[in-house]
């Protein structure tokens, strides 16, 4: 797998080949493709979401890339998943078999419709309830993945941003970089 924006590749090699590769003058870094996992704490208070929403910042015109375990369509996200892709070699589905990606997408852009009822005690609305979602699946049903899948998904998010979906990723000057 190659990562053009980093001038890097991910490969599987025997340990003796890694030692030889490390001696080549054009090699800057060799790192293992580490296992990763999902985790999240309380997001709304951490980012002061209620104040942002009160000031009118609700995600209108913004798309957010969720690089996680996939996203399953729910009424809270209805019609706002604008792009989906999996970076798992043995998985074709971008649906969430772990639950974390859908949860994260809800924290980001949930409309609150599933928790707005006469018997509901609280309404759980996302930080940016009008935002569109770009679903980039990198974790399997146990919530595990690899660094290389995440890097590939980040590259895709940048490419999608520079295309038509307008994902909220910018370089320091606020321009798309290719």
On whether residue 172 sits in a domain, the answer given is no
Q: In this predicted model, what pLDDT tens digit does every residue of 86-109 receive, in sequence order?
A: 999 999 999 999 999 999 999 999
Beta carbons of 168 and 149 less than 8 angstroms apart: no
Report pLDDT for 42. Answer: 56
Q: What is the pTM of this model?
A: 0.72
61 has pLDDT over 70: yes
Q: In this predicted model, what pLDDT tens digit does every residue of 152-165 receive, in sequence order?
A: 999 999 888 655 44
On whether residue 134 sits in a domain, the answer given is yes
On whether residue 4 sits in a domain, the answer given is no
Q: In this predicted model, what pLDDT tens digit does every residue of 115-140 receive, in sequence order?
A: 888 888 877 888 899 999 999 999 99
Beta carbons of 96 and 120 less than 8 angstroms apart: no
Is residue 174 very low, low, confident or very high in pLDDT (cuts 50, 70, 90)?
A: very low
On whether residue 67 sits in a domain, the answer given is yes
Q: What single string gives the DSSP state of each residue in 101-115?
A: HHHHHHHHH--SGGG
Would you mind telling me the total number of residues written for the chain in this entry?
178
**More confident of the two residues 171 and 132:** 132
**Mean pLDDT (whole number) for 69-96:** 95
Beta carbons of 99 and 67 less than 8 angstroms apart: no
Structural domain count of the chain: 1
**Mean pLDDT (whole number) for 7-16:** 88
Q: Residue 39: give the domain boundaries.
A: 34-161
DSSP code of 145? E
103 phi, psi to nearest 5 deg: -60, -45
- Percentage of the chain exceeding pLDDT 70: 85
Question: In CATH, what number is assigned to the domain containing residue 129?
Answer: 3.40.50.200
On whether residue 133 sits in a domain, the answer given is yes
- Closest by CA to 110, choosing from 76, 60, 72, 136, is 76
On whether residue 102 sits in a domain, the answer given is yes
Q: Looking at the chain, list the stretches that DSSP marks H as alpha helix, in order from N- to C-terminal side.
A: 15-22, 49-54, 100-109, 147-161
Report pLDDT for 92. Answer: 94
Residue 178 to residue 171: CA distance in whole angstroms: 10
């Amino acid at each position: 797998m190659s990562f053009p924006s980093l001038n890097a590749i991910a490969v599987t090699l025997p340990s003796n080949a890694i030692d030889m590769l490390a001696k080549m003058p054009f090699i800057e870094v060799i790192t293992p493709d580490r296992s990763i996992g999902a985790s999240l704490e309380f997001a709304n208070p951490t980012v002061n979401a209620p104040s942002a929403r009160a000031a009118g910042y609700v995600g209108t015109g913004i798309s957010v890339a969720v690089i996680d375990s996939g996203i399953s369509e729910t009424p809270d996200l209805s019609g706002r998943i604008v792009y989906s892709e999996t970076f798992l070699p043995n998985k074709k589905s971008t649906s969430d078999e772990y639950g974390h990606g859908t949860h994260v997408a809800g924290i980001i852009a949930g409309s609150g419709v599933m928790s707005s009822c006469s018997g509901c005690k609280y309404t759980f609305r996302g930080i940016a309830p009008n935002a569109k979602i770009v679903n980039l699946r990198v974790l399997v049903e146990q919530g595990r993945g690899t660094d290389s899948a995440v890097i590939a998904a980040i590259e895709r998010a940048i490419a999608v941003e520079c295309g038509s979906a307008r994902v909220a990723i910018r370089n320091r000057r606020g321009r798309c970089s290719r």
